[in-house]
């Protein structure tokens, strides 16, 4: 595989408009290879794009329509 396009170990099946915050943070860090991003920073950026914080099975999650 070309090193410009590394493979991912993230499984994101059936999101249906929501993803748990921990999963979203792990995905972001793996995709962008940036361990400096925090949940707070990610939340602020996602809010700018209309993605809001909600609950998914009692856990905090990002939600979108």
Could you tell me what percent of the chain has a pLDDT over 70? Answer: 78
- pLDDT at res. 57: 87
pTM: 0.74
Residue range 29-59, pLDDT digits in tens: 998 999 999 999 999 999 999 999 999 889 9
When pLDDT is averaged across residues 2-23 and rounded to a whole number, the result is 71
* CA nearest to 8, candidates 22, 26, 25: 26
Count the domains in the chain: 1
- pLDDT at res. 56: 86
Q: Cβ–Cβ contacts within 10 Å for residue 61, how many? A: 20
Residue 52 lies in a domain: yes
Residue 32 lies in a domain: yes
Residue 8 lies in a domain: no
Residue 36 lies in a domain: yes
Residue 9 lies in a domain: no
∠ at Cα 49 (11, 27), nearest 5°? Answer: 20
Residue 7 lies in a domain: no
* CA nearest to 60, candidates 14, 10, 12, 19: 19
Domain carrying residue 24:
20-63
């Amino acid at each position: 595989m070309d090193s410009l396009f590394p493979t991912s170990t993230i499984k994101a099946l059936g999101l249906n408009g929501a993803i748990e915050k921990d999963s979203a943070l792990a995905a972001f860090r793996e995709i962008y290879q940036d361990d400096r991003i925090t949940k707070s920073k990610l939340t602020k950026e996602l809010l700018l794009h209309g993605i809001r914080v909600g609950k998914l099975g009692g856990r905090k999650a990002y939600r979108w329509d």
